[in-house]
Structure 1
Amino acid sequence: MPTAPIPPHVPRRAVLRLGAALPLLSLAAGAPRAFAQVAPLAGAGASFPSLVYTRWAAAYEKSSNQPVSYKPTGSGDGIKQISAHSVAFGGSDSPLTAEDLAKRKLVQIPMLVGGIVPVVNLPGVPEGRLQLTGELLADLMAGRIKTWHDARIAALNPGLALPALPVRRIVRADKSGTSEGFTKYLSAVSPAFAQEVGASAQPKWPGEVEAAEGNDGMAKALKAAAGTLAYVSYDRVRRDKLNGVKLRNAAGQWVAAGESGFRSAIANSDLSRKGDDLASLMDREGLESWPITMTSFVLIDAAPAKGADAGPVMSFLYWCFMHGDDLTRGTGFAPLPVTLQSKLAARFASVKPLDGKLPPYLGL
């Protein structure tokens, strides 16, 4: 069977990246290039990567005339909705196990990498100046430190005028992959936090906390009140000009969140070394590595009723692999390693329509 031609406007770099998927493309060579005049592809789930997904969707619609919508409802809801087939794809920052994927009949695809950042609203404290160790951050989030001018915080921040304000914690109200990633890190660096709170997508926080919906709700609540502490994705720190905390990483360096720190975490993990898309990116080695780095995933139906039903969403995700890197740069997220991307489009072969027909999809 001849190989399907690659459209001339597809970057050569992207073609090399997805060389492993060409046998699949040849089978779909007769498929239409776009899915125009149809209902929007609906996605829902993780708020962590939602601004990037929205950016991808807008660019894809210009390229294909296929509208795509994405609602940042939280990872838990994304998993719930794709499992119920009420959306074309679900976003999650909490990867499912192979057993759970098989049970739910889903295919899981990593899309990008980003970071969770503790943020504060502290009058008089300049942006990016507050330094906390992971252990101290865990004590703050567990409610064990009550005021911002606590001696332990002051000892890490000599010369910084800390306000005599009570610590007010803002947490996610929804079931959230961001919360799960954040509490995984805190549990790893603090045995006391692991025992008292633990890692969870919807943790039971000790004491009195304020709850907010999604990353955007967290940012809004933080800006509304002095003395607050929250955790959001790094892109919200940039967009909303929030005061991000510096953390001490595994190399003992004080680091601020940023794309270079996420790339360092990737390079020092099995995500890069072995292509393991479930590998932890938390607290990795490397002088620049940001300690709370995580991968975000998309889930799609592994057994749609018809092959034609799966074609539009697979075309969109394939297009994201082909063009997403350039659109991701400067957003506060980092692309997946090229060596991993070259394998992921072949994962679409795991989609087995019940009518036995191959889903028609092509890179546009």
Structure 2
Amino acid sequence: MVVGHIGKQVLFVIALSSVIAIGVSEISCAQKVKSITGVGSTFAGPLYQNWAEGAEKEIGVQVNYQPLGSGAGRNQIISKTVSFGALDVPTSVEKLTKNNLVQFPTAIGGIAVVVNIPNIKHHMLRLTGPIIADIYSGKIKKWNDPKITEINKDVVLEDLDIAPIYRADGSGTTQVFTSYLVKESHNWAETYGSNTSIAWPLGIGGRGNGSVASMVKNIKGSIGYVEFAYALQNHLCMVQLKDSAGEYITLTEDSLRAAAKTADWVHSKNFNVDLINIVGENAWPIVSTTYVLVPAYNQNSKGVVKFFRWAFDKGDGIAYTLHYVPLPIFVKEKIEKTWEYAGITPNNS
């Protein structure tokens, strides 16, 4: 077949059009990849970052999560500078309504009390809520204080100064920890209370669970509070805590699940459940649900929902590996309804 000059031009145009069409198609596919940004809870940081790796591979949702603390998560989602905010304590209905936000839980985790004391091994030391409150308020200054040695008669504790470590940033972990102290100590409740940030009477502050874990690991005589995964990752010495029944409990996956299974989701309003010092056999006393906030009736929120829907469907194994407890199936179904009511369920899912 002989192709003339004009015929060659036609073929060139057709070929060029095909290349352009392929290029446009590739751009179109690339545009379908959702990119979302989350800020907040360091407590949930390991979980969200690991979920993000799986979601990007399987559903093409790219998640940039920055664990800057619950205070930053609340502030940035209210100012609409991020796709979602992550907090370790629930937000009031009034604040949600005022800022047109939707709240839902994502997982349950535990807070470990960790120490750095020479010759004290993992889970060897026993403490109680009132003793920890007295340590952080400065009433107990030495590790061989009679109140501590009385419940640790089989442990040799030296005359060592106690160095309390706390979160210096606005932190849901701090609110959960101080809520525990409020329940355990009337003096703490009256003097310091519970909040994401309080006026600590003494000690050294660190920003984020990772910073507190690092400080406890490196400061002799220190005590701190961190999310369970951070305690394990940094090989920190965790203590036993006295529960509401008078038994000393060790923080493990089993004691965390024992606390989580007692949550009263059926009667909860806005997914607000209190798991601190909850009554249950072998239940760890300092447990919290972690939450996400997204704008209602917002197209950008659909990418967030697509991510967390994948996490609820496929991410339970990852949660268990990182020592979190996944939500019950009926709670996930309830969350799905919340997404529908708020107009943020993805159309293609």
Find the structure with the greater CA-based Rg.
2
**How far does the alpha carbon of each residue in 1:250-309 deviate from its partner, in whole angstroms, 9 at most, with x for none?**
1221111122222211222313x54552120011111210000110001111142xx3x3
The runs of 5 or more residues in structure 1 that have no matched partner are 1-33
Shift of 1:136: 1.0
Whole-Å separation in 2 of the counterparts to 1:93 and 1:360: 29
Whole-Å separation in 2 of the counterparts to 1:212 and 1:268: 32
Match of 1:29 in 2: none
Is 1:326 aligned to 2:317, yes or no? yes
Any idea what SS the aligned residue of 1:329 has?
Answer: helix
Q: Which amino acid aligns with 1:329?
A: Y
Any idea what SS the aligned residue of 1:108 has?
Answer: strand
Q: Which amino acid aligns with 2:50?
A: R
Match of 1:45 in 2: 40
Q: 1:212 to 1:330 in 2, by over 3 A?
A: same
Shift of 1:189: 1.0
Q: Which amino acid aligns with 2:251?
A: A
Shift of 1:125: 0.8
Any idea what SS the aligned residue of 2:302 has?
Answer: helix
Is 1:59 aligned to 2:49, yes or no? no
Match of 2:275 in 1: 281
Counterpart pick for 1:108 among 95, 103, 108: 103
Structure 1 stretches of 4+ with a deviation exceeding 6 A read: none
Match of 1:82 in 2: 77
Shift of 1:161: 1.2
Shift of 1:66: 2.3
- In the alignment, is the contact (CA less than 8 A) between 1:106 and 1:303 conserved in 2? no
Is 1:193 aligned to 2:184, yes or no? no
- In the alignment, is the contact (CA less than 8 A) between 2:39 and 2:82 conserved in 1? yes
Whole-Å separation in 2 of the counterparts to 1:295 and 1:187: 18
Q: How many residues align?
A: 320
Shift of 1:310: 2.9
Q: TM-score scaled by structure 1?
A: 0.84
Match of 1:12 in 2: none
Shift of 1:67: 1.4
Whole-Å separation in 2 of the counterparts to 1:116 and 1:74: 15
Q: What aligned pairs does 1:236-247 form with structure 2 within 5 A after superposition?
A: 236-247=230-241
Q: Which amino acid aligns with 1:235?
A: A
The runs of 5 or more residues in structure 2 that have no matched partner are 1-28
Shift of 1:164: 1.4
Whole-Å separation in 1 of the counterparts to 2:346 and 2:246: 49
Shift of 1:149: 0.7
Any idea what SS the aligned residue of 1:68 has?
Answer: strand
Counterpart pick for 1:292 among 274, 286, 311: 286
Q: 1:322 to 1:330 in 2, by over 3 A?
A: same
Q: Which amino acid aligns with 2:62?
A: P
Counterpart pick for 2:120 among 125, 130, 135: 125
Q: 1:138 to 1:311 in 2, by over 3 A?
A: same
Q: TM-score scaled by structure 2?
A: 0.88
**How far does the alpha carbon of each residue in 1:98-149 deviate from its partner, in whole angstroms, 9 at most, with x for none?**
1110011110010000111110000111111110111111111212101111
Q: Which amino acid aligns with 1:213?
A: R
Q: 1:352 to 1:233 in 2, by over 3 A?
A: same
- In the alignment, is the contact (CA less than 8 A) between 1:36 and 1:66 conserved in 2? no
Q: Which amino acid aligns with 1:233?
A: E
Is 1:73 aligned to 2:64, yes or no? no
- In the alignment, is the contact (CA less than 8 A) between 1:275 and 1:339 conserved in 2? no
Whole-Å separation in 1 of the counterparts to 2:141 and 2:221: 11
- In the alignment, is the contact (CA less than 8 A) between 2:108 and 2:289 conserved in 1? yes
Whole-Å separation in 1 of the counterparts to 2:46 and 2:70: 15
Q: Which amino acid aligns with 2:174?
A: S
Q: What aligned pairs does 1:169-184 form with structure 2 within 5 A after superposition?
A: 169-184=164-179
Counterpart pick for 2:264 among 247, 255, 270: 270
Shift of 1:344: 1.0
Is 1:213 aligned to 2:207, yes or no? yes
Is 1:160 aligned to 2:151, yes or no? no
Match of 1:97 in 2: 92
Any idea what SS the aligned residue of 1:193 has?
Answer: helix
Is 1:141 aligned to 2:136, yes or no? yes
Q: Which amino acid aligns with 2:91?
A: L
- In the alignment, is the contact (CA less than 8 A) between 1:315 and 1:361 conserved in 2? no
Q: 1:175 to 1:38 in 2, by over 3 A?
A: same
After superposition, the CA RMSD in angstroms is: 1.7
Which of 55-64 and 325-334 deviates more? 325-334
Is 1:342 aligned to 2:333, yes or no? yes
Q: 1:144 to 1:66 in 2, by over 3 A?
A: same
Shift of 1:312: 1.5
Q: What aligned pairs does 1:21-32 form with structure 2 within 5 A after superposition?
A: none
Whole-Å separation in 2 of the counterparts to 1:119 and 1:193: 20
Whole-Å separation in 2 of the counterparts to 1:266 and 1:221: 29
**How far does the alpha carbon of each residue in 1:329-354 deviate from its partner, in whole angstroms, 9 at most, with x for none?**
1211111122212211111123347x
